[in-house]
């Protein structure tokens, strides 16, 4: 399955990301807890859109790899980890509720955000490297580039 991502759509995504960056600055400047909590859930969009533009080839994105895994899984990992980190933030929990010796909020950060992210980005890159660039695509690229003199 393939989804189209035209040059026009990519331009729109860059503009959207620029606006999200502006949102981040406004929220940070305001120091408003409510806005800042929303901003945590703006971050996954920024990350997802840049990844989309990295994984597309010839204006198409393939599914399920790399669109669902790693891109959408990465988005979910970010959303879930932030939701848990923020909901347990500063909460005094009984130490018997600690997960692997960690406060639940810290456990969400380390086990879901950190390990989950590594399993999403790093593992997918190794297992599905050909979805990033395969031999035939690279050969085609070299053939095309070799038609020209090296740029000075």
Partner 1 sequence: MKIISRVLPFFITLLSFSSVFAQDKKLTEQMETNTFTVVYTIIFLLISVLLGVWASKKAKTAEGFFGGTKSFGPITIGLASMAALMSAFGFVGGPGLVYKLGFSSIWMTIACGPGFAYAYWVLGKRMRAMAEVTSVATLPDIARVRYQSQAIRAIFAFGLLIAAIAYLSSQMKGAAMTLAQMLGVSEKWAIVIFMGVMLIFLLKAGMAASIVTDAFQGLVMLIGVFSVVIGFFVLTKGDAMIAIANAPNLGPKYVDGIGAAPLQTIITFIIVFFVFVMSQSTMLSKMYTVKSYKGLKQAGLLSGVTYAMASLVWILVGYGALYLLSQGRIEPLQKADNAAFVFLNALESPIIATLVMASLFAATISTASYFLTLSSSSITRDMLGAFGIELSQEKQIFWGRIIMVLIALLSIGFAYWGSDMVAILGTLGWGFFASVNFPTLTLGLIWKKTSREGVLTGIILAIILNIVLAILDKSGIYRLPFPYYTLSIVVSIVATVFVSLFTKGASGDNLPEPIKPIFKL
Least CB distance to partner 1 at residue 131 (A) = 9
Nearer to partner 1, 1 or 126 (CB): 126
DSSP string, 95-138: GGG-BTTB-HHHHIIIIIIIIHHHHHHHHHHHHTHHHH--HHHH
Least CB distance to partner 1 at residue 25 (A) = 5
Least CB distance to partner 1 at residue 65 (A) = 11
Least CB distance to partner 1 at residue 3 (A) = 17
Nearer to partner 1, 2 or 14 (CB): 14
Q: Which of 66, 71, 68, 72 is nearest to 133 (CA)?
A: 66
Nearer to partner 1, 1 or 136 (CB): 136
Nearer to partner 1, 46 or 76 (CB): 46
Q: Which residues contact residue 65 at a Cβ distance below 8 angstroms, ignoring those fewer than 6 apart?
A: 124, 128, 131
Nearer to partner 1, 63 or 122 (CB): 122
DSSP state of 148: S
Phi, psi of 56 (to 5 degrees): -75, 150
> Distance between CA atoms of 129 and 16, rounded to whole angstroms?
28
Give 55's Cβ-side CA count (13 Å radius): 28
Least CB distance to partner 1 at residue 62 (A) = 13
């Amino acid at each position: 399955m393939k989804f189209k991502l035209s040059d026009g759509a990519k331009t729109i995504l860059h503009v959207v990301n620029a606006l999200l960056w502006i949102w981040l600055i406004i929220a940070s400047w305001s120091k408003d807890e409510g806005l800042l909590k929303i901003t945590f859930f703006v971050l996954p969009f920024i990350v997802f859109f840049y990844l989309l533009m990295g994984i597309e080839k010839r204006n198409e994105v393939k599914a399920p790899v790399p669109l669902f895994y790693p891109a959408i899984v990465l988005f979910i990992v970010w959303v879930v980890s932030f939701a848990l980190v923020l909901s347990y933030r500063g909460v005094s929990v009984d130490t018997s509720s600690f997960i692997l010796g960690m406060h639940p909020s810290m456990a969400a950060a380390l086990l879901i955000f950190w390990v989950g992210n590594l399993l999403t980005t790093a593992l997918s890159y190794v297992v599905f490297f050909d979805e990033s660039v395969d031999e035939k695509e690279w050969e085609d690229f070299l053939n095309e580039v070799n038609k020209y003199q090296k740029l000075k």
